[in-house]
């Protein structure tokens, strides 16, 4: 999946989850969702590798489930950079739920793109 496609998928995920879970996630507008997706991609590129290496013992102890906590932390960082009034979560638990759902959505979309290139 290209960078632009991942930005679109993350933007649509942010908007759709803010409609499905209005008490847990807040997105002011589609433009804020686009900015949040861009900031998330920058944080995934720069900060996530460091957090992943630092949390490797916990990730191994929990058989990989701690990676959802790292993803939720990255989402909360995104929220603080974009601004809580523009893009935010009601709690850290909401960020964990969002991280799990975003992982599932990205997995399904990536799997779909891989199937397209096999033929």
- For residue 30, the enclosing domain spans 3-117
How far apart (Å, rounded) are the C-alpha atoms in residues 55 and 66?
Answer: 8
Mean pLDDT for the stretch of residues 79-91 = 94
Residue 38 above 60 pLDDT?
Answer: yes
Predicted TM-score (pTM) of this structure: 0.89
How many C-beta atoms lie closer than 10 Å to residue 100's C-beta?
Answer: 14
The reported pLDDT for the residue numbered 43 is 96
- Label residue 111 by pLDDT band (50, 70, 90): confident
Number of domains in the chain: 1
Quote the mean pLDDT of the chain.
Answer: 91
How far apart (Å, rounded) are the C-alpha atoms in residues 19 and 24?
Answer: 10
């Amino acid at each position: 999946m290209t960078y632009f496609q991942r930005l679109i998928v993350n933007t649509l995920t942010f908007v759709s989850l803010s409609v499905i879970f209005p008490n847990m996630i807040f997105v002011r507008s589609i433009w804020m969702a686009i900015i949040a997706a861009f900031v998330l991609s920058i944080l995934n590129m720069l900060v996530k590798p460091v957090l992943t290496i630092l949390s490797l013992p916990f990730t191994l102890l929990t058989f990989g489930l701690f990676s959802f906590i790292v993803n939720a932390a990255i989402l909360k960082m995104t929220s603080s950079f974009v601004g809580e009034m523009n893009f935010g979560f009601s709690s850290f638990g909401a960020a964990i739920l969002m991280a799990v759902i975003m992982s599932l959505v990205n997995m399904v979309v990536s799997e779909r793109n891989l199937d397209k290139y096999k033929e």
